[in-house]
Amino acid sequence: MIHGWIIVDKPLGMSSAHVVAQIKRLFKIKKAGHGGTLDPLATGVLPIAIGEATKTLSYVLDGKKAYRFEVKWGEARSTDDQEGEITATSDKKPTAEEIQKSLPYFRGTIEQTPPAYSALKINGKRAYALAREGKEVILKSRFVTIDHLTLIKTTFDSAVFEVQCSKGTYVRSLARDLAVHMGTYGHIISLRRLMAGPFLEQNAILLDSLLKIGHKTELMKHVLPLQEALADILALEVQDIEAVKLRQGQTIPVTLQEKEDVVLVLCRGVPQALAKAGEGKITPLRVFNIEER
C-alpha cells in the first residue's frame, strides 16, 4: 500500500473528482481523496491523499488557502465566473487607485454570501443543481478571514489579485463584492490556487507529467510522506509496545504535561496515530495502519 500525498497542478477544464480518479488508476489504488475542491475552470494546487493519508485530509481542508485571480469589470454573471450568463452590465471600469482604496474593506474578517452556483447543500441538494434547474437559491452569508489581498496588475477592463484566506472563502464572491463596492459589476475570468494548507505551488506537478511517467518507481518520487500535512502539529516518538497499545485504541502514559489538542505519534519515524495529549497521557483519535518498510 502507498500512504502519502501527491500534489497535483490541476489542469483547466477538469473536475477535482476526475483528477482523483486519474491518480487512482495511475497508482492502482482504491483509497484516495482531495484536499479541497477546485472548480473545473480553476487550476493549481490540488493535494491528493493516498491510503492512510486520507485520515489527515481535514487538516488540509481546514488550512489557509492562497489564490491568484483575474476579475473582468463591467459584467455580472450568473455563476460569478465566465461560464455563466450575463445578468447585468456597467460601463464603469475602476482605476488602479480606486481598487487600492477599496482593498482595505475586504481584508480581515468579512461577511460574504457564497455564489448560487456552489457545492453547498440546501435541504440535501447542491446549490448549483438547484440553480441549473432555474430554482431560486438563497444562501446564508458567512464570515471568512482575508489575511492578505494584493493588487498585482491592471488592464483597461480587468485586474489581477492575489489573496490568502481562511477555509470557506469563495473567491468568486470576493470578486463580485469588490466590483459592487466600486459601483460596477465583475466576474472571475481566471483562478489559480497557489497554496492549500502546507502545500505550495512549487510542490505541485502537472497531471500530464505524472501520466507520462508510468513507471511506479519514478512515480513514488512524487509521493510526499503522510506527515507532510501535519507539519504544524507536535510530533511525539513512542516505543514499540506503546505504539501497539495506541493502535489498539488504548491510552498510554507520556511525560508531556502541556495539553495539546492533537499530536502526531510516531514509532521509529513511522506515523502511528493522531492523538490527544495532556495530563500525562495520550489518547488515540485516528489510528494509522502503516507497515514499516
The model's pLDDT over 271-292, given as tens digits with 9 standing for 90+, comes to: 999 998 877 888 999 999 887 6
- Report, as an integer, the average pLDDT of 172-200: 96
CATH number of 234-287: 2.30.130.60
Domain boundaries, the chain: 4-63+198-228, 65-191, 234-287
CATH fold for the domain made of 4-63+198-228: Pseudouridine synthase (3.30.2350)
pLDDT the model gives residue 68: 98
Contact 245, 252 (CB under 8 A): yes
Residue 120 in this model has a pLDDT that exceeds 60:
no
Beta strands (DSSP E) in the chain are 4-10, 32-34, 42-50, 65-73, 75-77, 86-89, 108-112, 121-122, 125-126, 142-154, 158-165, 186-196, 199-200, 205-206, 235-237, 252-253, 260-267, 270-278, 281-287
Q: Minimal CA–CA distance to 53: which of 29, 88, 74?
A: 29
- Return all residues near 50 (Cβ < 8 A) that are at least 6 apart: 2, 3, 4, 5, 6, 23, 27, 29, 31, 32, 223
Is there a shared CATH topology between the 4-63+198-228 domain and the 65-191 domain?
yes
List the grid coordinates of 223. Answer: 509521493
CATH class of 65-191: alpha beta
Residue 94 in this model has a pLDDT that exceeds 70:
yes
Question: Grid coordinates 475570468 are at which residue?
Answer: 189
pLDDT the model gives residue 58: 86
Eight-class DSSP state of 52? G
CA distance 256 to 250: 17
- Return all residues near 156 (Cβ < 8 A) that are at least 6 apart: 93
User: Over the chain, what is the mean pLDDT?
Assistant: 88
Percent pLDDT > 70 in the chain is 89
Our CA angle for 216, 225, 248, nearest 5°, is: 110
Q: What is the pLDDT of residues 47-67, one digit of tens each?
A: 999 999 999 998 888 889 999
Confidence band, pLDDT 50/70/90 cuts, at residue 121: low
> What percentage of the chain's residues is helix, strand, coil (to nearest 5)?
25, 40, 35
Annotated catalytic sites, by residue? 39
Q: What pTM was computed for the model?
A: 0.89
Eight-class DSSP state of 81? B
